[in-house]
Structure 1
Amino acid sequence: MNKLILQLEGLIVLLIAVYFYTQTGGSWVLFFLCLLVPDLSMLGYLKNKRWGAGIYNIGHTYIIPLLLSVFAFIASHDLLLALSLIWIAHIGMDRTIGYGLKYPSDFKDTHLQKV
Structure 2
Amino acid sequence: MKAQLKLEYAAFLVLGIYGFAQTGYSWWWFAGLFLAPDISMLGYTVNNKAGAFCYNLFHHFGVAVAVYLVGIILSLPYLQMAGAILFSHSAFDRILGYGLKYPDSFQHTHLGKIGKKTE
Q: Is the structural similarity TM-score above 0.5?
A: yes
Structure 1 residues 112 and 4: alpha-carbon distance in aligned structure 2, compared to 1, 3 A threshold:
farther
Measure, in 1, the Cα distance between the counterparts of 2:45 and 2:34. 22
Identity in percent: 40
Cα contact 1:6–1:112 (8 A) shared by 2: no
Correspondence list, 1:54-65, <5 A = 54-65=53-64
Correspondence list, 1:1-115, <5 A = 1=1, 3-115=2-114
Structure 1 runs of 4+ with >2 Å offset: 3-9
Aligned partner letter, 1:107: F
Paired residue total? 114
Aligned partner letter, 1:13: F
- Give SS of 1:24's match: coil
From the two aligned structures, give the one with the greater helix fraction.
Answer: 1
Measure, in 2, the Cα distance between the counterparts of 1:105 and 1:5. 28
| Residue deviations 1:44-87 (CA, integer Å, cap 9, x gap) | 10011111112111111112221111111122211211121111
Cα RMSD, aligned residues only: 1.3
Which structure is higher in RCO with an 8 Å CA cutoff and minimum separation 6? 1
- Give SS of 1:25's match: coil
Question: 1:39: Cα distance to partner?
Answer: 0.6
Structure 2 spans left out of the alignment, 5+ residues: 115-119
Structure 1 spans left out of the alignment, 5+ residues: none
Using the size of structure 1 for normalisation, the TM-score is: 0.90
- Give SS of 1:63's match: helix
